[in-house]
Amino acid sequence: LRADADAGVTASPLIVLHGANGSAADLKPLLDRLGTHRPVLALNMVGHGGRPVPDALSVSDMVEDVLAQLDSAGVGRAHWFG
């Protein structure tokens, strides 16, 4: 989980998801620009960005993982990109 935001920005966060075979690190140029306007969270999907690759993985597993990351970060409502 990577978060970027200027101090004092209170807009709801933008959640940015990387593409296949990518990672949150690939999104740094985008985060640098968007983080000046609102909090931005880039998530590493399960099996990406150094996270372990499970033996089996479904779309619902990935959704549950993303929701768990957002819960852990205290995000209730957000905008999405990716």
**Cα 65 → chain centroid:** 11
Q: What is the pTM of this model?
A: 0.75
Q: Is 61 left (phi over 0), alpha (psi -120 to 50) or beta?
A: alpha
78: which residues sit within 8 A by CB, 6+ positions away?
12, 13, 14, 15, 41, 70
* pLDDT average, residue stretch 61-68: 92
Helix (H/G/I), strand (E/B), else coil: 43: strand
In tens, the pLDDT along 31-58 reads 888 888 788 999 998 888 888 888 998 9
Tokens 């807009």 belong to: 11
Strand order in the sheet with 14-17: 2-4, 40-43, 14-17, 79-81
